[in-house]
Structure formats: structure tokens, C-alpha cells
């Protein structure tokens, strides 16, 4: 790839971004789109749907950027939640470390590389037609003393990264504690999930639970809620809710505008009736069914061997959840309960064998997904080497000779295709993750995040780097593990140009697509005009951490890897992180609504991945110094790798335990503070009794008003 192709790519992407942003700036002001661009505001009733028309609504304005930027960190934290805060810390960390790496790269390494003469001497007059390889380390003369500057850069960047990582980890840990201390009492801190409750002939399971905990935890045990076989009731209730919403929506429209339905088969035959009446009747039927189910529910004793057990203090709950309770560890299995809204009910009481099989199936499925994904990657890889495509599709030869076409194909298309395929992976992984038996949505998302991350690093980064013949390369690797650094040093720099364009397309354009929300926009348009479902007031989506964290971390990996090899990538990356920081801030505040709070549990994933990137950079450095015939420098990188791993081990001991569990000190302090406020605690404990009540046990009463009359719904119209 030559400089002009890169510039084409930059041009296209910048144009696209500007276009998308202008669209966004205009569209976001249209009241009709408020459900797309500010659903969170709607949910919090801060945004009005209707407003007077004004010309200003048609002029793009950057006010939203300023507003997203201006908010202080603490304000953002309280508005968007802790997980969103942690997500944005990835950007801040990246901006910091890549500013350092960028300055070193652009002002020190880049001139050194460009003035080298390993590839050819520089022709200053014809920069646009020069290969981008001239800007990489490949252009430094073999054995040159200049490489010691690169060596110093490895140490500087690694050292700076470790320091910044430590500060981030520490800062987030402290914030996590202060968040814990400042938030009101939360049911999940007082509650544990107990599984494997033994069956007894004399008692119901509920009585067994009561007996066990009053016997062994007499001073702290408070109450418990059994889990029931309730899938059927829950689906019925869900149906009732949907019907209810539909009716409400219809009632907002005047009677004549409602499309009337026929009563008979598929709505094609029978007398025309008002849809409100039709749905109201349906709703009543469903509610009747729910009541019927609920009654059998109590009669049949559909208790599952699982319960949520609440304690009077956080420390009591922590004790019960962290100590093995029973002399048979498969009984009375305890673990901290998720937030009530975070519970993922399907696996709450799955038996051991089912979980084992699910896990096995997931492993196999992920394996096959990974293999399957190699197909598009290999194809994309072919595109960057145009000649291959020419021999594959000879009739394209003429078209490909056009500069602009070849520029677009090599500079833009490959990473676009890759990005499209990547679009499907996170939902699939979330599905796999759901099958693995998590009890909470956040746990599910966390595990999906790890899977998507490894998938991304392996399939997007490595499979691309190892070019088409992945399998044969792996065989070479296995046969001589010592040779891996050298081989990586040969193949990784070759893909520098591909990844620069990847930053432009997947990074820049990806961000603009994220903020313009094209798909939800189209969906919203259709819903508004062609459907009779109301826009849901609670429709603010939760943020897909499992999709976006791996995406951002991949750019981090690219940054570390190429900071040394091809520093030209750094400015583009920095732009990405800056813009991303502002854009995601905006989205977190306006679009996404936190459904649950893992209180920073995503950070250890980020930390580990960054350590991986650092070590990977060092391994490549070892290889490249070997290839460049400075074996001495190559050997001296190893101590830095050891230090990095030692640092990681230290962090794992220093921070990881407090991300998994709150320490006793913190819990006891907080419990003590609460004790000084008995009134608040009393009212909290009152609410705790029913916090983990199975949703299937709640009464459904959409069609009846409080006095039991059927008229309540109709009185709306």
C-alpha cells in the first residue's frame, strides 16, 4: 500500500464520519427520533416527544459534544452507573498511554525509520507514491545502532503502561469502595443464593431452609424466598403485559383512527370489532390463565431446590456465601445473589449434570464458530494482496487497474467485510454464554465479553496476521516454539497497513455508526409508521459491554503492537480514542440505561488483556531485534517481560480479590454505619422480604382497577 491509498482511505472515512455526524446532529433534534437518540431521557421523563417546529432543528450543531464533554467524572458516574464509568476509563487509559507512545513513535521512531535505507533510499519528492513500509521498522538498516532507540522505546512504553495500569486499577478499586459506601443499602449485598437444598420427607423445602439457617446462622438470618417452577406463568404474564401495552397505545389514538380487526381466523373473517375490545378480551383470558396456573402452583408444591436467603447484615451474607456450608458440598451451595433485576432465571436450579453438558456443548460450539470464521478472514486477507484476487477472478483485471478502485479495495473493503462479520459474533457469544448456566445477566455478559475478546484477538488479529495459511503457520509454530518471536516479527509488520485502514473503518466509521444508530433509526421509523405497537417508555437498551469492550481492547492491542513497528498508526488511534471517549459519553447518558451493576467487574478483563498486549509487544520486539541482527537487544527485552508478568501477578494478588468480593473490613464498617440509622434499616429490611420474590408470584391485575371493577382500562379512552 502506498501513501496515496492511505490518504484515500482517510478521506473516505473522514467524509463518511462527517456525513453521519451531520445526519445525527439534525436527526437527534427531531422529536420523532427521541426514542432512538435519547430513550434513556424518555425513560427518565426528561425529554419531551413533541415540540414546536423551528428552523434550528434542521441545522447541524455540535452542542451535544460540548454537553457530553462538560460533565464531571462524578456527575457522570452517578448518572450513568459504575460499569459505564469503568468502560470510559479504558478510553482514558488508552489516551494516556498512546499519547506517550505516540509522541515517542511519531517524533522519534518515525523519522528514524523513514531515514533508514534498508528498503531503499528515500525519494523526498515523491512521498505520495512511496510505500508505507518505508515508515516502518523494516526500513531501518539491519544491525544499525538506531535499533537501540527502538529498544529504549519498548522499555519506556512498557514501564509507562504498567504505571498507568496500576494507577487505573487502584483508582477504580477505590471508586468501587466509595461507590459501595455511598450507595443506599442494596438487596443483593444482604442476600445469597442457595442451591442444592436437600429434600426432606417431613418438611417442605422452605421449612428446611428456615431450619438450616436459624440453626447455623441464628444471629444474622433474616428471611428467604423459594424459587419455583414458573416458566409457564412467566410467559403468560409477559403476554398479558404486552397486550396491556398495546391497548394503552391504541387508546392514545382517537377511536376512528384505530384499524378495526375481524374476530375470526387470522383476523380475516368474522365481524369487525374495535381492536381495544378485542385485546381487552384477550387480556382477560390470559389473566384468567395466570390465576389458574398460580393456584396449581401452590397446590403442586412446585418448589425448586433453590432459594434466596437474606441476612440482617452484609457481613452475615458474605460469611454464608463464602464458607462451605454443608459436609456434602453439593448441598447448600451458596453464592452471592445478583441484583433482583439482574437475575437470569432459567439456570437458577439447573442440576449438576445439565450444567456440565451445557458447558461441554458451548466449548464445542465456540470451537466450531472460530473455525468457521476463518473463512471470511482468509477471504479478506486475500483482498489486501490484489494480485491474488486478480488470478482468482481474471475478468476483474481491467477494473482493478484503475487506481481509485484498487485504492478502495486495498484500503477500505477488507476491513469493512471483517467488521460486518464481526457484527454477528457478540450476539452469538451471548447466546452461548447464556447456555453455560449463569445466574445473572451481568455474569452472562462478563463471560460473553471474555469469549468475544479471545475470539476477536484470535480471529481478527492473529488470523489476519498469519495471513491465509493459518493452519500451516500454526504447525510451524508448534514444531519449534522457540522460533515464535522471530516468525511473528516477520509476519506482524507486514500487516501494518491493513490495520491502519482497520482503525479508520472499524474505528472511525464504527464510532459514527454507533452514534448515528442507523438500525434502531430504521426500526423506529417502521414502528412509528407501520405498526400498532407503542414505543416503549422503558425501551432504553442496556449497553452491550460484551460487544464494545473487546472492540476497544483490540485497538489497544494494535496500538501496543504497532507503536514499535509502524508508529504511523498512532495518530489515527489517538483520534479514535478521543472521539470514542466523547461519543460513548454521549451515548451512555442519552441512549443506554444501566439495567444492572457489576460494580466494575469488567476492569480485570481489561487489565489482563492489556498485560497480554504488552507481553505480545515485547515478544515481537524480541523477534524483531533478532531478525534485525541486534541479538543483544533481543535478549535484554526478556527482563522487561519478566517484570511485566511479575507486575501482573502482583496486581492479581493486590486487586483481584476485592473485585470478586467486598473485604470484611468494608462490609463491617458499612454494617456499623447502618446500625446507627435503625429507622432506615427497618424500612429497608421490610422491602428486603419481597425483593427476591419470584415474579411469577406477583398478582396480575391489568384489567381490573383497585376496587376490582373491570372498568379501569376503559376509563382511559
Residue 634 in contact with a copy of itself, rule: CB under 8 A:
no
Spatial distance between the Cα atoms of 270 and 537, rounded to a whole number of angstroms: 34
Residue number, 391 or 476, with CB nearest to a copy of itself: 476
Q: What is the DSSP letter of 190?
A: H
Query: Shortest approach of a copy of itself to residue 669 CB, angstroms?
Result: 9
Query: Shortest approach of a copy of itself to residue 479 CB, angstroms?
Result: 6
Task: Using the structure block, give the residue that is written with the C-alpha cell 452472562.
Answer: 444
58: left (phi over 0), alpha (psi -120 to 50) or beta: alpha
Binding residues for a copy of itself restricted to 396-425, rule: CB under 8 A: none
Cα angle value 206/210/216 (rounded, 5°): 145
Tell me whether residue 446 is exposed, middle or buried, using C-beta atoms within 10 angstroms of its C-beta: 0 to 12, 13 to 18, 19 or more.
Answer: buried
The 10 Å Cβ neighbour count of residue 235 is 12
For residue 221, report the phi and psi dihedrals to the nearest 5 degrees: -60, 135
Q: Which residues pair with 336 in a beta bridge?
A: 192
Stretch that binds a copy of itself, among 88-96, 259-267, 363-371, 653-661 (CB under 8 A): 653-661
* Member of 51, 198, 663, 695 binding a copy of itself (CB under 8 A): 663
Residue number, 58 or 646, with CB nearest to a copy of itself: 646
Query: Shortest approach of a copy of itself to residue 618 CB, angstroms?
Result: 18
Q: Are strands 303-311 and 272-273 parallel, antiparallel or unpaired?
A: unpaired
* Member of 387, 478, 538, 676 binding a copy of itself (CB under 8 A): 478
Residue number, 322 or 717, with CB nearest to a copy of itself: 322
Stretch that binds a copy of itself, among 14-22, 587-595, 610-618, 642-650 (CB under 8 A): 642-650
Residue number, 300 or 475, with CB nearest to a copy of itself: 475
* Member of 66, 163, 664, 680 binding a copy of itself (CB under 8 A): 664
Binding residues for a copy of itself restricted to 289-318, rule: CB under 8 A: 318
Residue 658 in contact with a copy of itself, rule: CB under 8 A:
yes
Residue 471 in contact with a copy of itself, rule: CB under 8 A:
no
Binding residues for a copy of itself restricted to 535-564, rule: CB under 8 A: none
Residue 126, C-alpha cell as written in the block? 515523491
* Member of 23, 155, 216, 578 binding a copy of itself (CB under 8 A): 216
Residue 367 in contact with a copy of itself, rule: CB under 8 A:
no
| 17-23: long-range contacts, CB 8 A cutoff, minimum separation 24 | 17/508, 17/509, 17/511, 17/512, 20/509, 20/512, 20/513, 20/515, 20/516, 21/60, 21/512, 21/515, 21/516, 22/60, 23/516
Query: Shortest approach of a copy of itself to residue 580 CB, angstroms?
Result: 32
Cβ within 8 Å of residue 648, ≥6 positions away: 607, 608, 611
- Number of residues forming the site for a copy of itself (CB under 8 A): 36
Binding residues for a copy of itself restricted to 317-356, rule: CB under 8 A: 318-320, 322-330, 332, 352, 356
Residue 103 in contact with a copy of itself, rule: CB under 8 A:
no
As a dihedral over the C-alpha atoms of residue 265, residue 271, residue 274, residue 276, rounded to 10 degrees, the angle is -40
- Taking the CA of residue 388 as centre, how many other CA atoms within 13 Å lie in the half-sphere pointing to its CB? 12
Residue 701, C-alpha cell as written in the block? 391485575
Residue number, 148 or 216, with CB nearest to a copy of itself: 216
Which residues contribute to the site for a copy of itself (CB under 8 A)?
A: 173, 177, 216, 318-320, 322-330, 332, 352, 356, 475, 478-479, 646, 649-650, 653-658, 661, 663-666, 668
Amino acid at each position: 500500500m502506498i501513501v496515496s491509498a492511505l490518504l484515500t482511505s482517510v478521506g473516505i472515512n473522514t467524509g463518511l464520519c462527517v456525513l453521519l455526524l451531520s445526519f445525527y446532529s439534525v436527526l437527534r433534534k427531531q422529536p420523532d427520533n427521541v426514542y432512538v437518540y435519547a430513550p434513556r431521557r424518555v425513560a427518565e421523563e426528561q425529554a419531551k416527544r413533541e415540540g414546536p417546529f423551528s428552523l434550528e432543528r434542521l441545522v447541524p450543531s455540535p452542542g451535544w459534544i460540548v454537553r457530553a464533554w462538560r460533565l464531571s467524572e462524578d456527575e457522570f458516574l452517578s448518572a450513568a452507573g459504575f460499569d459505564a464509568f469503568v468502560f470510559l476509563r479504558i478510553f482514558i487509559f488508552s489516551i494516556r498511554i498512546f499519547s506517550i507512545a505516540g509522541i515517542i513513535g511519531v517524533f522519534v521512531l518515525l523519522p528514524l525509520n523513514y531515514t533508514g535505507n534498508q528498503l531503499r533510499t528515500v525519494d523526498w519528492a515523491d512521498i505520495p507514491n512511496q510505500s508505507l513500509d518505508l515508515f516502518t521498522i523494516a526500513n531501518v538498516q539491519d544491525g544499525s545502532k538506531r535499533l537501540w532507540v527502538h529498544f529504549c522505546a519498548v522499555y519506556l512504553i512498557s514501564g509507562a503502561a504498567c504505571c498507568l495500569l496500576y494507577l487505573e486499577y487502584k483508582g477504580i478499586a477505590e471508586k468501587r469502595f466509595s461507590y459501595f459506601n455511598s450507595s443506599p443499602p442494596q438487596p443483593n449485598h444482604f442476600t445469597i443464593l442457595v442451591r442444592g437444598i436437600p429434600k426432606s420427607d417431613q418438611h417442605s423445602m422452605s421449612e428446611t431452609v428456615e431450619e438450616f439457617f436459624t440453626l447455623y446462622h441464628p444471629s444474622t438470618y433474616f428471611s428467604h424466598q423459594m424459587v419455583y417452577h414458573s416458566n409457564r406463568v412467566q410467559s403468560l404474564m409477559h403476554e398479558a403485559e404486552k397486550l396491556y401495552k398495546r391497548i394503552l397505545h391504541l387508546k392514545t389514538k382517537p377511536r376512528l383512527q384505530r384499524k378495526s380487526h375481524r374476530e375470526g381466523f387470522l383476523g380475516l373473517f368474522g365481524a369487525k370489532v374495535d381492536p381495544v375490545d378485542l385485546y381487552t378480551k384477550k387480556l382477560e383470558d390470559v389473566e384468567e390463565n395466570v390465576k389458574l396456573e398460580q393456584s396449581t402452583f401452590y397446590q403442586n408444591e412446585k418448589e425448586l431446590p433453590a432459594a434466596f436467603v437474606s441476612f440482617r447484615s452484609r457481613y452475615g451474607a458474605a460469611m454464608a456465601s463464602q464458607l462451605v456450608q454443608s459436609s456434602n458440598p453439593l448441598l447448600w451451595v451458596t453464592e452471592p445473589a445478583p441484583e433482583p433485576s439482574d437475575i437470569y432465571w432459567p439456570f437458577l436450579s439447573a442440576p449438576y449434570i445439565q450444567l456440565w453438558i451445557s458447558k461441554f456443548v458451548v466449548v464445542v460450539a465456540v470451537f466450531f464458530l472460530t473455525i468457521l470464521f476463518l473463512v471470511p478472514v482468509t477471504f479478506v486477507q486475500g483482498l489486501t494482496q490484489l494480485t491474488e484476487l486478480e488470478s482468482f477472478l481474471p475478468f476483474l483485471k481491467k477494473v482493478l487497474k484503475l487506481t481509485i478502485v484498487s485504492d478502495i479495495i486495498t484500503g477500505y473493503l477488507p476491513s469493512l467485510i471483517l467488521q460486518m462479520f464481526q457484527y454477528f459474533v457478540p450476539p452469538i457469544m451471548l447466546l452461548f454464554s447464556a447456555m453455560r448456566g449463569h445466574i445473572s445477566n451481568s455474569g452472562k455478559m462478563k463471560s460473553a465479553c471474555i469469549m468475544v475478546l479471545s475470539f476477536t484477538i484470535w480471529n481478527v488479529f492473529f488470523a489476519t496476521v498469519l495471513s491465509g495459511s493459518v493452519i500451516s503457520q500454526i504447525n510451524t509454530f508448534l514444531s519449534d516454539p522457540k522460533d515464535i518471536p522471530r516468525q511473528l516479527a516477520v509476519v506482524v509488520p507486514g500487516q501494518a497497513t491493513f490495520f491502519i485502514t482497520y482503525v479508520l473503518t472499524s474505528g472511525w466509521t464504527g464510532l459514527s455508526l454507533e452514534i448515528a444508530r442507523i438500525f434502531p433509526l430504521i426500526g423506529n421509523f417502521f414502528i412509528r409508521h407501520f405498526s400498532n405497537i407503542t414505543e416503549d417508555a422503558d425501551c432504553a437498551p442496556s449497553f452491550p459491554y460484551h460487544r464494545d469492550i473487546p472492540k476497544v481492547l483490540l485497538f489497544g492491542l494494535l496500538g501496543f503492537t504497532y507503536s514499535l513497528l509502524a508508529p504511523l498508526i498512532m495518530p489515527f488511534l489517538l483520534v479514535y480514542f478521543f472521539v470514542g471517549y466523547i461519543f460513548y459519553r454521549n451515548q451512555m447518558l442519552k441512549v443506554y440505561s444501566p439495567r444492572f451493576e457489576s460494580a466494575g467487574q469488567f476492569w480485570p478483563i481489561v487489565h489482563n488483556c492489556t498485560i497480554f498486549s504488552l507481553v505480545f509487544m515485547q515478544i515481537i520486539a524480541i523477534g524483531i531485534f533478532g531478525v534485525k541482527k541486534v541479538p543483544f537487544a533481543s535478549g535484554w527485552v526478556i527482563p522487561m517481560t519478566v517484570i511485566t508478568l511479575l507486575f501482573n501477578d502482583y496486581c492479581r494478588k493486590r486487586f483481584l480479590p476485592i473485585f470478586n468480593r467486598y473485604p470484611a473490613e468494608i462490609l463491617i464498617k458499612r454494617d456499623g454505619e447502618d446500625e446507627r440509622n435503625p429507622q432506615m434499616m427497618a424500612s429497608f429490611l421490610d422491602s428486603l422480604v419481597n425483593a427476591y420474590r419470584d415474579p411469577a408470584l406477583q398478582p396480575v391485575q391489568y384489567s381490573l382497577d383497585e376496587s376490582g371493577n373491570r372498568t379501569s382500562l376503559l376509563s382511559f379512552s
